[in-house]
């Protein structure tokens, strides 16, 4: 097994050593831990460089945000790697994380495969506060269009999946790298969602997104929705997928895009909102999502940002 762990860091001096320690304890002798620092001004880079371990490499970059930083890492990953794993800077990997991902990635062959798993949610001192949501419905392309169930810090990909994911088109339309991975791989390959927790997912004041058990999950999502249009994020990504990968999709998936997830068609949107069909994992989430769609239309913001309506995406290899 040749594995590369890709870690993006930013102002992570408080927790990054815990994360590196947990990775190195299970990383094979020929494995790689590739760190890209996204412009930290604290001691993050100093701490990473203090490890006398040949498996670790670190690149210091300018601040481009976590999404582009992870794409940069994926682009730079060595060509002989069989499994690519993403890592946040502030978690702790449980001892079986790499081996458990390899159980699914190692048998995937040439089929694009993405693995993700549940998390043990902990506070800043690693005290348990709950478990992340269990996804009872199987991962699917129609689910990926409407919802992201892949938490990036648990994700692992084979090379076939990585090559698809790196066809990013207009990367400015991708707001979450893990959602893009789920959407693309679900359209062409296999997505495995593991119910066994593989990481202590630290929740603290500096989380970019974060999670929460039970009601807290909805409060976290509500806080995000009040700041930004989730609908614009979703449809911008879908339009990017349509232009970059649409021609290669199966007939069934292409029809789903055209007949339901087409922001240019009033009929498609009306059917998406009105016709009973579960797209998201949970029934309540599906209802709330439809209300969000309807709300954007009623208040006149539309389903896409104005700049996205005016200029089509161009296929590039941003990273």
* Cα separation, 200 vs 198, whole angstroms: 7
Boundary of a domain, candidates 75, 90, 105 = 90
Asked whether residue 39 is assigned to any structural domain, the reply reads: yes
Closest CA to 12 of 90, 122, 124, 92: 90
* Cα separation, 78 vs 85, whole angstroms: 13
Asked whether residue 46 is assigned to any structural domain, the reply reads: yes
Please report where in the chains the tokens 């949970």 appear, as a residue: 282
Asked whether residue 249 is assigned to any structural domain, the reply reads: yes
Please report where in the chains the tokens 């016709």 appear, as a residue: 275
Predicted local distance difference test score (pLDDT) of residue 21: 98
Asked whether residue 128 is assigned to any structural domain, the reply reads: no
Predicted local distance difference test score (pLDDT) of residue 281: 96
Predicted local distance difference test score (pLDDT) of residue 285: 92
Boundary of a domain, candidates 47, 67, 90 = 90
* Cα separation, 234 vs 155, whole angstroms: 20
* Cα separation, 157 vs 134, whole angstroms: 21
Predicted local distance difference test score (pLDDT) of residue 248: 98
* Cα separation, 255 vs 277, whole angstroms: 15
Please say whether the beta carbons of 133 and 217 come within 8 A.
yes
Boundary of a domain, candidates 61, 90, 119 = 90
Closest CA to 163 of 139, 144, 142, 189: 189
Joined tokens for residue 200: 């202590």
Predicted local distance difference test score (pLDDT) of residue 318: 43
* Cα separation, 209 vs 221, whole angstroms: 9
Asked whether residue 238 is assigned to any structural domain, the reply reads: yes
Asked whether residue 45 is assigned to any structural domain, the reply reads: yes
pTM: 0.91
Domain count for the chain, please give it.
2
Per residue in 16-60, pLDDT (tens digit) is 999 999 999 999 999 999 999 999 999 999 999 999 999 999 999
Q: Where in the sequence is the domain holding 20, given as residue range(s)?
A: 1-90
Joined tokens for residue 172: 């400015």
Within 8 A by CB and 6+ apart from 280, the residues are: 143, 146, 147, 286, 289
Asked whether residue 226 is assigned to any structural domain, the reply reads: yes
Q: Convert 112-125 to b/e letters by CB count within 10 Å (16 or more is b).
A: bbbbbbbbbbbeee
Asked whether residue 13 is assigned to any structural domain, the reply reads: yes
Q: pLDDT under 50 in the chain at which residues?
A: 207, 210, 310-319
- CA dihedral of 131, 227, 143, 312, whole degrees rounded to 10: -150
What CATH number does the domain containing 58 carry?
3.90.550.10
């Amino acid at each position: 097994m040749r594995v590369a762990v890709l870690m993006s860091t930013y102002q992570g001096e408080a927790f990054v050593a815990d994360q590196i320690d947990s990775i190195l304890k299970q990383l094979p002798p020929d494995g790689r831990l590739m760190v890209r620092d996204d412009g930290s001004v604290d001691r993050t880079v100093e701490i990473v460089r203090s490890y006398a371990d040949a498996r670790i490499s670190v690149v210091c970059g300018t601040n481009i945000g976590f999404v582009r930083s992870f794409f940069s890492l994926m682009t730079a990953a060595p060509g002989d790697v069989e499994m690519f794993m993403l890592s946040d800077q502030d978690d702790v990997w449980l001892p079986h994380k790499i081996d458990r991902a390899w159980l699914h990635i190692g048998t995937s062959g040439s089929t694009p495969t993405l693995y993700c798993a549940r998390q043990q949610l902990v506070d800043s001192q690693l005290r348990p506060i709950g478990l992340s949501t269990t996804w009872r419905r199987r991962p699917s392309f129609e689910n990926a269009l409407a919802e992201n169930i892949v938490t990036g810090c648990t994700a692992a990909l084979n090379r076939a999946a990585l090559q698809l994911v790196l066809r990013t088109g207009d990367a400015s339309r991708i707001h979450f790298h893990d959602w893009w991975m789920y959407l693309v791989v679900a359209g062409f390959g296999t997505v495995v969602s593991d119910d066994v927790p593989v990481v202590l997912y630290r929740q603290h004041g500096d989380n970019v997104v974060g999670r929460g058990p039970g009601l807290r999950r909805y409060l976290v999502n509500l806080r995000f929705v009040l700041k930004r249009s989730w609908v614009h994020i979703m449809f911008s990504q879908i339009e990017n997928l349509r232009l970059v990968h649409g021609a290669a999709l199966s007939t069934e998936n292409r029809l789903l895009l055209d007949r339901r997830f087409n922001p240019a068609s009033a009929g498609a949107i009306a059917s998406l909102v009105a016709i009973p069909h579960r797209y998201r994992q949970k029934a309540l989430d599906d209802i709330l999502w439809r209300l969000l769609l309807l709300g954007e239309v009623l208040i006149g913001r539309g389903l896409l940002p104005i700049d996205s309506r005016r200029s089509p995406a161009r296929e590039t290899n941003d990273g």
